[in-house]
Each structure stands twice: as structure tokens, then as C-alpha cells.
Amino acid sequence: MNNRMTEKQARIALREANSKRQYGDGAVSRFKTKAGILIDMFANIVEDTMAQEPNTGHGCRVQTLHIDVAFMRIENHMKDLEKQVAVEKAINRRTLMEEEE
């Protein structure tokens, strides 16, 4: 499903990242679709953290702890990715500056 967020919600999320950034045709819509995919992946990770099968009794209901554990796993990986992207960005900028000289 690709309608997890509205166009307005997507624009707000993108503006919070950088209010000065401009977006080309279709970029906000693509962001909206990809964000929906991430939400689906998050739901699957929550499900994968569950030890008990659904409808089997004690311990089969998703609790806030399950959500938090799944989120922390994703968040840790995303923070590592942010660091990696920042390093790559610095390298790319340095390379561009050297090419301009």
C-alpha cells in the first residue's frame, strides 16, 4: 500500500529535514511511497520480534515493548546509515572541490 501518508504530511516531513530544499516533479510523491514501504517493513520487524504465534494465549499480543524493541533496532541501523552517508557526503564534496581547482 502506498497511501500511508498524505501529500501534505510528506511535504511537512521533507521540510523538517531542510526547509530550503526544493523538490522536483514527482519527488514528494515518491517519498510518500517509499515512506509507506518503510512503515510496512517496521510492521514486519515488529511481527518478527514476537515469540508467540498469534491467538495462542499468553504472550501473543503485541505490546508497547515489542514496538519499542523493533524501533530501537531500526533506529540503531538508521543512525549508522546517517553516519555513513555523512562521511560519503564529505568525501564527495572534497572531490568536487578538488576537481574545481
SS3 state at 89: helix
Give the span between the Cα atoms of 85 and 78, in whole angstroms. Answer: 10
* pLDDT for 1 beyond 60: no
Per-residue pLDDT of 82-98, as tens digits, reads: 999 999 999 998 898 88
- Residue 67's pLDDT is 96
C-alpha dist (Å) from residue 71 to 12, 42, 64: 22, 7, 10
- Residue 13's pLDDT is 96
C-alpha dist (Å) from residue 36 to 49, 58, 74: 20, 31, 15
- Residue 4's pLDDT is 84
Give the span between the Cα atoms of 61 and 55, in whole angstroms. Answer: 8
Q: Which residue has the cell 572534497?
A: 94
Per-residue pLDDT of 29-73, as tens digits, reads: 999 999 999 999 999 999 999 989 998 988 899 999 999 999 999
